[in-house]
Amino acid sequence: MSQERMTKRRYFVDLGQLALEEHFESEERMTFTVVAGGSLVPDGYVETVAITAVEIRPDVFLISWKEESGATITHLEDFERGVVHSRITLPDGTPLALTGTIKPLD
pTM score, whole prediction:
0.91
Interval 40-82: pLDDT, tens: 999 999 999 999 999 999 999 999 999 999 999 999 999 999 9
Whether 13 and 5 have beta carbons less than 8 Å apart is answered as no
pLDDT at 106: 80
Q: Which of 24, 13, 19, 76 is nearest to 49 (CA)?
A: 24
Which percentage of the chain shows pLDDT scores above 70? 92
Distance CA 26, CA 36 (A): 25
pLDDT at 1: 46
